[in-house]
Amino acid sequence: MIVVSDSTTLIILGDLGKLVYLRNIFSTVFIPQKVYEEINFKKDFALPEYIKVAEPKETEQLQELKMLLDDGESEAIALALENRLPLIILLHQKII
């Protein structure tokens, strides 16, 4: 099974040393470039071979998503919709 993921899922599993859980369930995990940038902020994250970077098309829908969510979440949603793939996403709310 192929899936699209946002960064929060990868960061949490990576911090726990449990990214292998994704491999046990999915053959391929696609992430947009913005998600890769979010998970690679320390510049020391090497993607496992089953996690691939793919870009969503620039559409009006993507631009609307970016008005509501951060770029990584928006692009992950757009990529999943565009390719009709399941999405793993954890949305968090900022408390001000």
Tell me the CA distances in angstroms from 26 to 5, 6, 64, 69, one per residue in order: 11, 15, 29, 26
Statement: residue 39 has pLDDT above 70: yes
Structural domain span for residue 24: 2-88
In a domain? residue 83: yes
Q: How far apart are CA 3 and CA 15, in angstroms?
A: 20
In a domain? residue 48: yes
Number of domains, the chain = 1
* Structure-token pair, residue 5: 């993921």
Give the closest residue to 73 by CA, choosing from 11, 18, 1, 24: 11
In a domain? residue 28: yes
Record the pTM: 0.86
pLDDT value at position 12? 87
Write out pLDDT tens, residues 41-79.
Answer: 766 667 889 999 999 999 999 999 999 988 999 999 999
In a domain? residue 39: yes
**Which amino acid would we find at residue 41?**
F
In a domain? residue 93: no
In a domain? residue 95: no
Residue 17: pLDDT band with limits 50, 70, 90: confident
